[in-house]
Homo-oligomer: A and B are copies of this chain.
Amino acid sequence: MIYKIKFGGTGKPKKVSGTSSSKLGGKKMIIVLKPNTKKEEIEHVIEEVKNKGFKPVPFEGDERTVIHALGAVRDDSPDSFRSIRCVEDVVRILKPYKLASKEHHSQKTIVRVGDVAIGNNDFVVIAGPDSVETEKQIIESAKIMKKNGIKIMRGSAFKPRTSPYDFQGFGIEGLKLLKKARDKTGILVETEVMDVRDVPIAAQYADILRVGARNMQNFDLLKELGKVDCPVILKRGMSATIKEFIMAAEYIMASGNKNVILCERGIRTFETAYRNTLDLEAVVVLREETHLPIIVDPSHATGNREWVIPLCKAAAAAGADGILVEVHPDPEKALCDGAQSLYPEQLTRLLKELKPICAAVGKKL
């Protein structure tokens, strides 16, 4: 037997316009008041709960009073109550995301690019050099990828660099070279976009656009990417929580573009033995929380090509939908991040070693 909650001195439920109290179990906040809050302060909070469109259900206690606020909670609703002096804490029950949430859309999203599907039973390998450097380099790269059966090549024309004195990428010239490699070899191309003003032209030249870790909460960029008809790879920010990561995807989706692919690429921790800490637990949890495809980039996480191969295998075993991995025709000559780029022969070995792992988890490589 399930108790039905009732309110008021008469033992009869109070009606609140438009809401059925018994149907609001999960749609609520719990407002915890400080100990010894005075009666009139409690009433003030109850008034505020009503003013903000919620139904208040107070529980008096020995030590403190707790008020449930039933109704449609927005992400900033809890904060609006925390600002009241006698409020100690506000706990929210429901998760804040909608479009990206598995609860609201239980079927896995499959992002289609050319004849590639990301998010179904295929394990997708996106590989290529960190940056577009020269026509020769990028076309040679495309050929190496094609030879290995890779259908999507990565290559950055715009480069986010910690120092203003470092190589910043070739910009639109780079996009054009990427397009040339695409036209010549038939490979699909993926590239990063950093500036809102570059979104339209990048969407014209590339098959997939990428948001780098540093821009995961560049909300204007996310909104702009919501307006183009081009799949987006969204990299997790270096210190972004799972919730913030999904909310960033929610920005793109709410602006109109549902083709978002999440990419775990390592987070910032206290550890200094590697550049970032690859978080494969995130892959497992994201699969539970969201219907969006999830890929993993071990190249940037490690900064070291020797560690990339085992971590690609671990990503596949953890249930990722694919990987994003750096391969350079001649890593020592790379203008950027050569230390983490695989040699072409290492790509071949990686693919060979990935095959049985993918098979073991029901994915096709």
The chain A residues found within 8 Å of chain B, CB to CB, are 1-12, 14, 22-28, 30, 32, 35, 39, 42-43, 46, 48, 56-66, 68, 74-76, 79-80, 82-84, 91, 93-94, 96, 98, 103, 160-167, 194-197, 214-215, 217-220, 223, 238-239, 241-244, 247, 250-251, 254-255, 266-274, 277-285, 288, 301-303, 306-307, 310-311, 313-319, 331-332, 334, 336-339, 341, 353, 356-357, 359-361
Separation in Å of the A13 CB from the closest CB of chain B?
Answer: 9
Among A2, A167, A196, A356, max chain B CB count under 10 A is at: A2
How far apart sit A162 and B266, CA to CA, in the bound complex (Å)? Answer: 20
Known: A25-B64, A317-B317, A317-B318. 13 other contacts (CB 8 A): A2-B60, A3-B58, A22-B59, A25-B63, A25-B66, A27-B62, A75-B166, A76-B166, A83-B334, A194-B218, A284-B302, A311-B318, A314-B314
- Determine whether the beta carbon of A336 is less than 8 Å from that of B281: no
How far apart sit A276 and B57, CA to CA, in the bound complex (Å)? Answer: 32
A30 and B241 in contact, given A250-B163, A281-B311 (Cβ under 8 angstroms)? no
How far apart sit A215 and B339, CA to CA, in the bound complex (Å)? Answer: 27
Name the contact of A301 in the complex, choosing from B5, B62, B281 (C-beta under 8 A): B281
Kindly list chain B residues whose C-beta atoms are within 8 Å of the C-beta of A167: 76
> Shortest 5 CB-CB distances between A and B: which pairs?
A25-B61, A11-B11, A83-B338, A239-B239, A75-B163
How far apart sit A331 and B274, CA to CA, in the bound complex (Å)? Answer: 33
Name the contact of A83 in the complex, choosing from B96, B247, B339 (C-beta under 8 A): B339
A310 and B284 in contact, given A25-B61, A317-B317 (Cβ under 8 angstroms)? yes
How far apart sit A82 and B319, CA to CA, in the bound complex (Å)? Answer: 24
- Determine whether the beta carbon of B273 is less than 8 Å from that of A242: yes
How far apart sit A266 and B278, CA to CA, in the bound complex (Å)? Answer: 12
- Determine whether the beta carbon of B42 is less than 8 Å from that of A2: yes
Kindly list chain B residues whose C-beta atoms are within 8 Å of the C-beta of A254: 164-165
Among A30, A218, A274, max chain B CB count under 10 A is at: A218
In the complex, the chain B residue whose C-beta lies closest to that of A341 is B83
Separation in Å of the A318 CB from the closest CB of chain B?
Answer: 4
A59 and B242 in contact, given A217-B160, A278-B280, A317-B314 (Cβ under 8 angstroms)? no
Kindly list chain B residues whose C-beta atoms are within 8 Å of the C-beta of A277: 267, 269, 277, 279, 281
How far apart sit A88 and B299, CA to CA, in the bound complex (Å)? Answer: 17
- Determine whether the beta carbon of A332 is less than 8 Å from that of B48: yes
Among A7, A12, A94, A338, max chain B CB count under 10 A is at: A338
- Determine whether the beta carbon of B284 is less than 8 Å from that of A311: yes
- Determine whether the beta carbon of A24 is less than 8 Å from that of B357: no
Name the contact of A66 in the complex, choosing from B26, B60, B243, B306 (C-beta under 8 A): B26
In the complex, the chain B residue whose C-beta lies closest to that of A328 is B83
Kindly list chain B residues whose C-beta atoms are within 8 Å of the C-beta of A251: 164
Name the contact of A220 in the complex, choosing from B25, B84, B195, B359 (C-beta under 8 A): B195
In the complex, the chain B residue whose C-beta lies closest to that of A79 is B339
- Determine whether the beta carbon of B273 is less than 8 Å from that of A62: no
A-B contact pairs, 5 of them (CB 8 A): A11-B12, A214-B218, A269-B279, A313-B361, A314-B318
How far apart sit A356 and B314, CA to CA, in the bound complex (Å)? Answer: 13
How far apart sit A21 and B1, CA to CA, in the bound complex (Å)? Answer: 18
